[in-house]
Structure formats: C-alpha cells, structure tokens
Chain A
Amino acid sequence: MPSSNPLPLTVAPPSHNSLARQGWRRLRRDRIGFGSLCIVALYLLLAMAAWSGLLARHWQDEVAKPFAPPTLFANLGPQHVELNAADIDAANQRRRAAAGSDSSAATGLDASEDPLAADMAAAQQQAAQYHSEEAPKADTLPLGADQRGRDIRQKVLQGTATSLLVGLSGALLALTIGTVLGALSGYFGGLLDDLLMWGYSVFTSVPDMLLLLAFAAVSGRGIGTVVVVMALTSWTGSYRLMRAEFLKHKSREYVRAADAIGASHGRRMFHHILPNVSHLLLVQFSMLTVALIKYEAILSFLGFGVGITQVSLGAMLAEAPAELLQGYWWQMLTVTVVMSVLVTAFSLLTDSLRDALDPKVK
C-alpha cells in the first residue's frame, strides 16, 4: 500500500499556485482591469476616510457664499446676488422717491401712522447690543458651492461614501438572500422549489419601483432602512440566476462525484457548486451595486432616501434640477463625473475579475 512508504514530503502547498494567486497575476497583466482596480480602491479608501471622519467631516459647514462658483470658472456661471432686508429697503425707497411719497420703509405708512414703529425702534436698539460675528465667506471654491454655501468637494466625498456604503451593503444583502434561496430552490427542486418560485412570482409581479416605495414609506428614513428596502426588492434577479445555475450544476459529474465520495448536501451546495458559480455572483454583485446606487438616487430624489442630515450622490443629484434652471451647473457636473467614473471602473473591474478568476482560461 502506498501509505506504507513515507516519502520526503516535497508537496507544493496548494496555496503556492492557488487560483487566487493565478488570478491576481492575470489581473496584473490586464491593463484596463488593473487600472479599474486602482480607481475602485481609491474610491474605497476615500469612502473609508469619509466614514471614519478623517475627510469631509465638516461638509455641512457653510463656508462660502451660496452658489459660489468653481475657482477656475468664476466668471462662467450666473453671478449670485444675495438679497437682504437693507437691499429691499433701498429698493423701496428708490421706488417711493420715484413716486414722490415719503411713507415708512417697510409698510408704506407714515411714521406717525405706523402702530409698530415704536416696537421696531426698540427691537433695532436691542439688536444693536449684540454683535454677531460672521466668518468671512469665500467667493469661490475649487469645485464651487451649493445653495447654502457648502463645499461641493466635501459634499461629494461624503455623498460617495454614503452611496458606496448603501450600494455595496445593499448588493451584498440582496445577493445573500438571492443565493441562499436560489441554491435551495435549484438544488433540491420539488415542493421547495415550487414554493420559492411562487414567492418569487409574487415579488416580481409588483412593479419594482412601487414595491421600493411601499417598503420605504412604511419603514421611515435612514441608511439602514434604505439598504434593507433595496435588498428586499432586488434579490429576485440573483435568485433566478442562482436557481438556474444550481439546477444545471447539480447533475454535473463533479457534483455526482462529490456525492459518490460521501459529501453532504450542504457541502455539495456551498463547497463544490458555489465556487464554480462565483464568477457569476461577482458580475451580479457589480451590476447590483451599480443599480442600487441608482435606486438610492431615485429614492432620495422622491424623498424616501437617506435622512436630511446625510448626503448621498442621489441626494445631490436631486438638487440638480432646481439649480440647473438657474444655471448653476457645477454640483451636477461634479456628481455626474464622480458617479460615472465609479460605475465604469466598477464594471470594467468586474469583467476583468471574471476573466482572471475563471480556472478554465489557461
């Protein structure tokens, strides 16, 4: 028997040439894939810095004048003019002077006729006692400011962090639900499959957006809610995919071989089949992440998204229509560029990863 002759163990440890290592080498060779990986990694780093408060902690501070333009394009947009009470008074006075009347500034009445004149004078006197110190507000910012004068650079960092968090965790949750149910359904078939398929049909017969809004409406606002709501509505695609894959793989010879050596159902499902469909999961994950970032935008736009004390790329986009009408383009441009670079890099990375991790490619 071979067991009786102990040979010097010259076994190359399996990790030496493992699939992950081979995949990494293939990914390194793929220029586009590696570039995308760097971009996604950069985004994730920035997002982590923003979550931990290292970056963009003070994104809510109103550091500039409202709608301060980007520094490079200071003269390219409409110049915002801030009106205050003094301006209105001056305008009224001009109007009165033109009309030849001398009624009081605010009401158009004579000082003697105005019943509130005394109160107003008292109030003004009191106000003069307090000295409010206003921080100097910037005229321009590198990427401009929004309507409250918040720095778009900081806002977009914080927004990206939120959107990534929502997208990634939502996709992960949806994928987990879809994979577990799909695996059970496809692998065991029969009554369980019928029941799960019924549940699936019920979910998909309701329009997606309606379901999303219904869930969002009953569960209030906040990042956690958004993640759960989106996962609950978007597991169906991966369920269907995984069900089909498990159905296909369970009769493959390698799974039968696993049965023959005595592997349990759970082991066959998650130890043998799952790694073989993992490249599909990866693709599904990236598509879901991208889709959920978009869903989050829609939810935020409709007022069911993240809370008002938080900001996300979607919430920023929601401000865009009103701003664009007045010609303030910088917030929208920034969000669009940041979002499309992220989404494109993510998709390209997924493609390359799938190629790199496929063991059949030599």
Chain B
Amino acid sequence: MKTDTGLESDIVTPQPPPPLLSVRNLRVSFHDEHGHCVPALKGISFDIPAGRTVALVGESGSGKSVTAMAITRLLPAHGCQIDAGSEILFAGRNLLTASRRELRQLRGADIAMVFQDPMTSLNPVYTVGEQIIETLMLHTRVGRKAAYQRAVALLKEVGLPTPDLKMSSYPHQLSGGQQQRVMIAMAIACEPKLLIADEPTTALDVTIQQQILQLLASLQKKHGMAVLFISHDLELVGQFADEVVVMHHGTIREHAPVRQIFEAPQDVYTKALLCCRPHLSRRPARLPVIKDFLGEASYCEPPQRQRGYLPDDEVILEVQNLSVEYHSRHGWFGKKHCCQAVQDVSFKLMRGRTLGIVGESGSGKTTLGMTLMRLQAASAGRVLFAGHDMLAMSPRQLGDYKRRIQIVFQNPYASLNPRFSVAQILTEPMLLHGIGRDRAERLQLAGNWLERVGLSHQALGKYPHEFSGGQRQRIAIARCLTMHPDILICDESVSALDVSVQAQVLNLLQELQDELGLSYLFISHDLAVVKHLSDQVLVMQHGRCVEQGDADTLYAKPQHPYTRQLLEAIPQSWPHNFKPQVA
C-alpha cells in the first residue's frame, strides 16, 4: 500500500514540513436548471498538516461539504465545474488531475471518509463483517482469513462490544452510534493518512455524539492521521480540532488555531457564530444575530432575563399521569405487541410561560406532544386544558380546544404542503375555524401575520419551496398564530435550522410570547436551547419523566444521573470563551 514512499522522498523537506494536503485557490461552481453558473466555492486555500486535525465550520450553503467532495473527487461530473486554476495537492500529487486508477487507490486507502448518516452509508443487505472485509481486500493484499481477523480487531478498536458477534450482524441490528463506529472502523481499516469526517455526529444523540468524538480523537492520536472534520457546530469542533477554518458563502472568513478562534476571534462572522448559539451560562433577553455584528457599532448584550414559574401564575394546561401505548400485531391472528412510549408523565404549564421537555431520541417527547394535540391516542391519564379534560371530549367538543393548542413541527421542509401557496396555507385554518368574514379579510389577516413574523406581504403569492428553512419555519409559526392559540407546542422547531437562523427564530418566539401571552411547550434534544427559552424543564428518558424542576435550579444542581450525563455531553470547549460586552 505504501508505494508512494519514493514520491515523498522526492520532495526536499524544508522547514516546516510540507502539508499532507493543500488546497490552493479552489473554485467550484454549479449550473442550475437555466444554465446559470452558481459559485459554490470562491477560491479557497488551506493546508492540512500531517497528523493534525483541521475543522471546517460553516452554516448550510457555506461550501464545506463541497470542499470535502472536491478533495475526494466525488462531485457530480455533470453540472459542476472546477476552475482550471484550482489545485488540491495530496502528498505532492494534484488530485484534480489524477487518473481514475490513482484515485481509486487513494480513496479508502490513503484518504478515507465518514459520512453523516451511518444508516444510509452502510449497505443494508450485507453483514457488517462482509463490508469491512471487502474494504480490506480491495486495498490491501491480504487473504480472506487475515482480513476477517483484522476486521474483528478493528471492531474491537472502535469500541464495539462482542466484536465477533457484531461481524455477522446486519446494519439494522445495530444502534445509530454502533453503526457510526462501524463506519469509522471501515474508514481506518487501511490506515489512511487523511480521514475526512463530514458531520459524523449530527445524526446522533448528544451522549452518543460525545463518545464518537472521543473515539475519533483517540484514533487520530494513535494512528497519527490527519483529520478534516466538517461540522456546522463551532462548539463541538473546539473540543478536538487543532485548527479551525470558518467558511461562509464559499469563502474562508477566518483560519486560525483553535484557541485563537475561541478566545480572540478576529472576524465578525466568527464572533457572531460564537454568540448566536444560546449558552448555558447566559440568558440574554434577546439573542444576538449575525446582523448585530456586521454593523459599525460593536455589539452589546442586552440584560439577562429571569426565568421560572411564579406562585401567582395561572395554570393553563395540567397533565396528570399520562401514558401512551403503541400496539402492533403481525397479521390478524398474530401476537399482540405492546410498547410503552410514554409512562405516567405529569406536569403543569402556566399561562405565558415555557415548559421545556428534554430527551434523546426514543424518549417519548414527540409522542407526548402528539398526544396533547390528540394526534395520538392516550392509554391513561388526564389532560386538563383550562379545567376540562381534553382526552375525554367528543370530537365535536374538541373543535374549539383544538384551535387553542397548536404545534410547530421540526422540519419546515415537510410541514408545509408543497402544493399550496402561502396564502392558501395561512387562510385554510381561518376558513376551517370561521375566522374572518370573507376571503379578502382572511387574506388581509394572513398578510398581517406574515409581517408579524418578519416576512413581507408579497410572500402570500409564493410557494414554500421559494423560501429558506428559517423563512418556512416563520410561515409555520404564522399558520399557528392565525388561529389565536393559547398554547404552542414547539417540537424540535429550531433543531433543523442553522445557528444564526435558529437565534432569529428563538427571538421571534420570545417576542411573540411577550406580546401575545402564549404558553410554550418546548420540546428539544438541545439543552442549551431549552435553557434559553424555558421557565421549567422536564427531562425524559425511555418514556418516563426522570427529573422536573425550575430551569436554573435543574441545570445548576441536576439530581438524576441521566440529567447529569446529558449536561456533561454538552460541548464546553473553552473556559475563556469570547463573550460579547454586556450593556
């Protein structure tokens, strides 16, 4: 495999040693449907020294994934153009002009990749073992038996329990974290010099995310690999990168050692990225957005907001011992399976306050939200909405209550009907609930709500696909508001959004609460976001509520071990983080 030793010795090694990979003036553009050229990368240059970890950080559309695909030459052949002046040198070879044969040898052997979603990256019809053995036999001249031995050793190295058994498992029999470990085992199988990890932990739960990061860090040290770590999360990257490259709209905004990025960022965009994310230790009345940093005046943080239920708050929603069971049965005469999604959960939501519900995937937090909306049937318990049990109501009685409790879903790309114009989306709930006298008045109201959530009247004539993720989420919020709800359930409503957009939507939610006196049930896996917005927090695990309490108290003195585990999993990289000035 290591046939390129001769190549390396050709290069006279001056001080400092030449980088393993160097990207020079990389320009990539895509052609859209009309044949227009859309630049994705506008001439970026950076180096990855051997054995170091470089992180590429940016929001969606910044070009970070395009960079990774250009390095591995995985960009689509059609509709994509790499500028002739671009260079990607790997150990002295220009990858952009390398032949297919050379590339095949390099990929997998010298350059390996770990993708975001392990579920789709592993082939579901082959066992884990077969897939690792295939990689080994393609790139190293070993027999099947030796490859098997090596594969078991690899699985052991990436920390899978009972590696022998796991060899004969299919991908669906493993959990998400285990699948990602298998992907990492495949990537390091041939001892690559460069490992490209493209958002390797984004699809995983917070606690698993920590474990995978630690694994990557330890493997990097042990094998002396260089790692190109791509992420949208600056905090996460701070934990184990040596250098950070901050990207924005296809350009590099800042490239510096990790310490400098976190403690003394030079670029306004980097500063904004650091401050936009809600932080566990601060809770400004309004989160900063990128625009705040781009202006002439330096940004000053508004005063902190106090949170928590007050004794004289009015209870608007009380949930008592709520349980939800899923039943499934194979065929008509099969055995009945029962699954407890939510068990015995009780809480109170006060008018004008926010209750945060935290948990990892499978904890039952989404089911809980769905049940409160009556989109899912409960098996036991009571839901008292202004004193009336919603679960016992007939569909007719429910009509008005249904209007008063609304939900904003996680994925703004899926929750708006793509065939409806924004006007249709916003006027339909009014039509169904008899709000507004006629079509003209409803359109007028819809336009007003759009303005309230920060969009213009003109948006009414457009369709959801014409908007960005953040704008769509604003439309979804406006749709709920048209019905004048009392309670808004936000089910991971900001999780799919970029950091800067997330801050804007969180600010919008806060403004609406202050203005309209809405009560929020804020469901999320992100503890920092929940702390920013919540007065009280409920922690869920395996369908049960493990801890519940005032937001500040719970985060300061977690009682349950699971809560402590969750809090420890939050990336807190630099103690002397850059902080905005406080007004």
Tell me whether A2 and B451 are in contact in the complex, defined as CB-CB below 8 angstroms, given that A359-B419, A359-B463, A362-B465 are known contacts: yes
Q: List 6 A-B contacts (CB under 8 A).
A: A10-B457, A14-B423, A17-B461, A254-B417, A262-B403, A262-B433
Partner of A2, one of B375, B399, B452: B452
B582 at the interface (CB under 8 A from A): no
Give the residues in chain B near A19, CB-CB below 8 Å: 419, 421, 463
Instruction: Tell which of B375, B402, B419, B424 has the most Cβ of chain A within 10 Å.
Output: B419
Closest approach, in angstroms, between the C-beta of B390 and any C-beta of chain A? 14
Interface 0/1 of A4-21, CB less than 8 Å to B: 011101111110111100
Interface centre among A256, A257, A361 (most CB of B within 10 A): A257
Is B461 a contact of A14 with CB atoms below 8 Å?
A: yes
Known: A257-B407, A262-B429. A7 touches B448 (CB 8 A): yes
CB distance from B477 to the nearest CB of A (A): 12
- Asked if A253 meets B403 with Cβ closer than 8 Å, knowing A2-B448, A5-B448, A10-B457, the reply is no
B interface bracket (residues with beta carbon within 8 Å of A): 35 or more
Give min CB distance, A120 to chain B, whole Å.
81
Give the residue of B33, B406, B414, B423 whose beta carbon is less than 8 angstroms from that of A11.
B423
Quote the shortest CB–CB distance from B291 to chain A (angstroms).
Answer: 23
Q: Is B160 an interface position by the 8 A CB rule?
A: no
Q: With A2-B451, A2-B452, A361-B33 in contact, do A253 and B409 touch (Cβ < 8 Å)?
A: yes
Asked whether A275 lies within 8 Å of B419 as measured between CB atoms, the reply is: yes
- A336-361 near B? 1/0 per residue, CB < 8 Å: 00000000000000000000000111
**A262 contact set on B, CB distance < 8 A:** 399, 402-403, 429, 432-433
Roughly how many angstroms separate A262 CA and B144 CA in the complex, as a whole number?
60
Q: Report Cα–Cα, A7/B440, bound state, in Å.
A: 12
A259, B375: Cα distance in complex, Å: 7
Known contacts A2-B452, A11-B461; 10 further A-B pairs (Cβ under 8 A): A12-B457, A14-B421, A14-B460, A252-B414, A256-B370, A256-B415, A257-B409, A257-B416, A261-B479, A275-B419
B483 at the interface (CB under 8 A from A): yes
Q: A253-B409, A256-B409, A260-B402 are in contact. Are A359 and B460 (CB under 8 A)?
A: no
Q: How far is the CA of A18 from the CA of B402 in the complex (A)?
A: 31
**With an 8 A cutoff between CB atoms, is B45 at the interface?**
no
The minimal Cβ–Cβ distance linking A282 to chain B, given in whole angstroms, is 13
Within 8 A of A (CB), among B439-473: 440, 443-445, 447-449, 451-452, 457-458, 460-466
The CA-CA distance from A9 to B438 in the complex, in Å, is: 14
Contact surface of A with B, Cβ cutoff 8 Å = 2-3, 5-7, 9-14, 16-19, 194, 252-254, 256-263, 272, 275-276, 278, 359-362
Does residue B476 face the partner (Cβ distance < 8 Å to A)?
yes
What total count of A-B pairs have CB within 8 Å? 113
B373 contacts which chain A residues (CB < 8 A)? 259-260
**Across the interface, which residues of A come within 8 angstroms of B418, CB to CB?**
254, 276, 359-360
Task: Determine which residue in A5, A6, A9, A262 has the highest number of CB atoms from chain B within 10 A of its CB, and name it.
Answer: A262
Smallest CB gap from B430: residue in A:
A261
Q: Mark B389-418, 1 if CB is under 8 A from A, else 0.
A: 000000000010011001101110011111
> Which interface residue of B417, B432, B462 has the most chain A CB atoms within 10 A?
B417
Q: How far is the CA of A183 from the CA of B414 in the complex (A)?
A: 20
Closest 4 CB pairs of A and B: A2-B448, A12-B461, A261-B429, A275-B419
Assess whether B457 is in contact with A7, with CB atoms less than 8 Å apart.
Answer: yes
The answer to whether B417 touches A272 (Cβ under 8 A) is yes
A261 with B419: CB separation less than 8 A:
no
> What residue in chain A is nearest B443 (Cβ atoms)?
A11
Q: Is B47 an interface residue (CB 8 A)?
A: no
Tell me the minimal C-beta distance from A246 to chain B in angstroms: 15
Q: Considering residues A254, A260, A278, which has the most beta carbons from chain B within 10 angstroms of its beta carbon?
A: A260
Cβ-based interface call for B318 (8 A)? no
Which of A16, A253, A254 is the one whose CB lies under 8 Å from B461?
Answer: A16
Residues of B within 8 A of A362 (CB): 32-33, 465-466
- Chain A residue at minimum C-beta to C-beta distance from B412: A253
> In the bound complex, do residue A360 and residue B465 qualify as a contact, i.e. CB atoms below 8 Å apart?
yes
B205: chain A residues within 8 A (beta carbon) = none
Query: With the chains together, A6 CA to B420 CA distance in Å?
Result: 25
Closest to A358 in B: B418
CA distance A218 to B541 in the complex (A): 65
A11, B421: Cα distance in complex, Å: 12
Q: In chain B, residues 76-122, which have Cβ atoms closer than 8 Å to a Cβ of chain A?
A: none
In the complex, what distance in Å separates the CA atom of A278 from the CA atom of B399? 30
Instruction: Decide yes or no: A11 and B409 within 8 Å by CB, A260-B375, A275-B419 being known contacts.
Output: no
Residues of A within 8 A of B417 (CB): 254, 257-258, 272, 275-276
- Give the distance to chain B from A263, nearest Cβ to Cβ, in Å: 6
Cα of A5 to Cα of B457 in the assembled complex, Å: 14
The answer to whether B444 touches A9, judged by C-beta atoms less than 8 angstroms apart, is yes
**A16, closest chain B residue (CB):** B461
Q: How far is the CB of B468 from chain A (nearest CB, A)?
A: 12
Shortest Cβ distance from B483 into A: residue: A261
Q: Provide the residues of chain A in CB contact with B375, threshold 8 Å.
A: 256, 259-260
In the complex formed, the residue of B with least CB distance to A2 is B448
The residues of A that contact B463 with a CB separation of less than 8 Å are 17, 19, 359
* B9 smallest CB distance to A (angstroms): 51
Q: Give every chain B residue within 8 A of A2 (Cβ-Cβ).
A: 445, 448-449, 451-452
CB distance from A43 to the nearest CB of B (A): 29
Question: Please, which residue of chain A has its CB at the minimum distance from the CB of B376?
Answer: A256
Complex CA gap A194/B370 in Å reads: 27
Complex-state Cα separation, A14 to B459, whole angstroms = 10
Cα of A7 to Cα of B103 in the assembled complex, Å = 61
Contact A359 B461, beta carbon cutoff 8 Å:
no
Assembled-state Cα–Cα distance A263/B433 (Å): 9
Q: What is the CA–CA distance of A278 and B419 in the complex, to the nearest angstrom?
A: 10
A13 CB contact (under 8 Å) in B416, B461, B464: B461
CB distance from B324 to the nearest CB of A (A): 16
What is the bound-complex CA distance between A272 and B415, given in angstroms?
12
The chain A residue with its CB closest to the CB of B445 is: A3
User: Closest approach, in angstroms, between the C-beta of B146 and any C-beta of chain A?
Assistant: 46
Known: A9-B447, A260-B402. A276 touches B457 (CB 8 A): no
By a CB distance below 8 angstroms, the chain B residues around A256 are: 370, 375, 409, 415
Closest approach, in angstroms, between the C-beta of A260 and any C-beta of chain B?
5
Residue in A closest to B441 when the chains form the complex, CB atoms:
A3
Tell me the chain B residues, 125-178 only, with Cβ under 8 Å from chain A: none
What's the least CB distance linking B231 to chain A, in Å?
Answer: 26
Report the minimum CB–CB distance from B395 to chain A (whole Å): 10
- Of A11, A254, A359, which contacts B447 at CB under 8 A? A11
| Complex CA distance for A362 and B432, rounded to whole angstroms | 31
Q: State the CA gap A218–B3 with chains docked (Å).
A: 79
| A7 touching B444, Cβ below 8 Å | yes
User: Residue of B at shortest CB range from A12?
Assistant: B461
A260 contacts B416, C-beta separation under 8 Å: no
Query: Most chain-A CB neighbours within 10 Å: which of B424, B433, B465?
Result: B465
Asked if B423 and A254 make an inter-chain contact with CB atoms under 8 angstroms apart, the answer reads no
User: At the interface, yes or no: B428 with Cβ under 8 Å from chain A?
Assistant: yes
A263 & B415 in contact (Cβ 8 Å cutoff): no
Which B residues lie within 8 Å of A276 (CB)? Answer: 417-419
Nearest Cβ in chain B — how far from A330, in angstroms?
45
Bound-state CA distance A258–B476 (Å) is 11
Q: Give the distance in Å from the alpha carbon of A94 to the alpha carbon of B555 in the complex.
A: 121
Quote the shortest CB–CB distance from B383 to chain A (angstroms): 15
